[in-house]
Amino acid sequence: MKSNLTNDASPFSFKEVVPEPEIKWRETLRVFCQNRMALFGLILVTVFIFVGLFGSLMFPADPFEMVATPLSGPGAGAILGSDYMGRDVFIGIIYGTRPTLVIATTATLVTVLIGITLGAVAGFYGGIVDNILMRITEFFQVLPPLVFTMVIVAVFSTDIVVVILAIAITTWTPEARLTRAEFLKIKEREYVMSARAIGAQNLRLIAKVILPNAMPPLIIAITLRVGVTIIYEAALSFLGLTDPDIMTWGKMIGLSRDFFFDAWWSVTFPGVAILLIVLCIALIGDGLNDAFNPKLRGR
């Protein structure tokens, strides 16, 4: 008897058992764009990125050079005033944007890579693998992350690579636990079981079937992680635990903290830069949460 089923119509076609993404990306983008505060945050973060990329070309100068009278207020000689060494605060902010964003972005990527990898393996395989990885996660979770980061940098080096790795090693646990929770929830769904039944390998199930459907909450967490990492980097710079040859916003605040009452501008303006970018990243994360959440979209 001749079968009426073609290859395209086969009930065991891999394309049929793997559903389309649960979140419609066009609708998500539309909802995100309707959030004015999120758009404002995105625009301002884009400005910071532009300054980080091209600020040194637009304002060629040495952020460590003395260009004005020490502790002079905002004016023609120095737009935002000078610090106790006569360094231009405005130039310092411009040149501090790039290393701040580079450290924050790179450390976030490494953090997310560690967290998602361990969380995915724990959630997918379960059992003894899950128990071992979760005990490791709990060990890192009970350690004060900022203090642990400071110890690593102080013991090894203030090099930018060490700073990035130190932040990543101490802050990956929330992403790991979130990924694990999503994998535990999704791996029992019908389309995952169907993909497994037709012979999909574990690596394919993790990377192609489960992970794409677990990404919406992870994207929100990753966005917010960038803001947290900026604060970590600023704290390390404030304490002098970063490369002394690189100007950052936290370093500017740390170097001028003893002169706050004599030159408030040397501390306030770098602090405002940190506040603005962290706030804008939080606004973007809030907008993504609204866009990805079906209940908030009235569905």
Q: How confident is the model at residue 25, as a pLDDT?
A: 67
Domains and CATH numbers, the chain: 23-292 (1.10.3720.10)
Average model confidence (pLDDT) across the chain? 85
The model's confidence at residue 76, banded by pLDDT at 50, 70 and 90, is low
Q: Which of 230, 131, 110, 124 is nearest to 175 (CA)?
A: 110
Residue 10 has pLDDT above 80, yes or no: no
Tokens of 297: 């979209």
Query: pLDDT for 160-204, tens place per residue?
Result: 999 999 999 999 999 999 999 999 988 888 888 888 888 878 888
Tokens of 220: 């929100």
Residue 2 has pLDDT above 70, yes or no: no
Average pLDDT over residues 277-284: 92
Quote the percentage of the chain above a pLDDT of 90. Answer: 45
CB atoms near residue 167 (< 10 Å): 28
pTM of the model: 0.82
Most distant CA pair in the chain, distance: 96
Query: pLDDT for 15-65, tens place per residue?
Result: 434 444 444 667 778 888 888 899 999 999 999 999 999 988 998 988 988
Residue 149 has pLDDT above 50, yes or no: yes
When comparing pLDDT for 120 and 34, which is higher? Answer: 120
Q: How confident is the model at residue 201, as a pLDDT?
A: 87
Residues 62 and 146: their CA atoms lie apart, in Å, by 31
Residues 200 and 206: their CA atoms lie apart, in Å, by 10
Q: What residues pair up with 82 in beta bridges, in sequence order?
A: 88
Residues 225 and 217: their CA atoms lie apart, in Å, by 12
Q: How confident is the model at residue 188, as a pLDDT?
A: 85
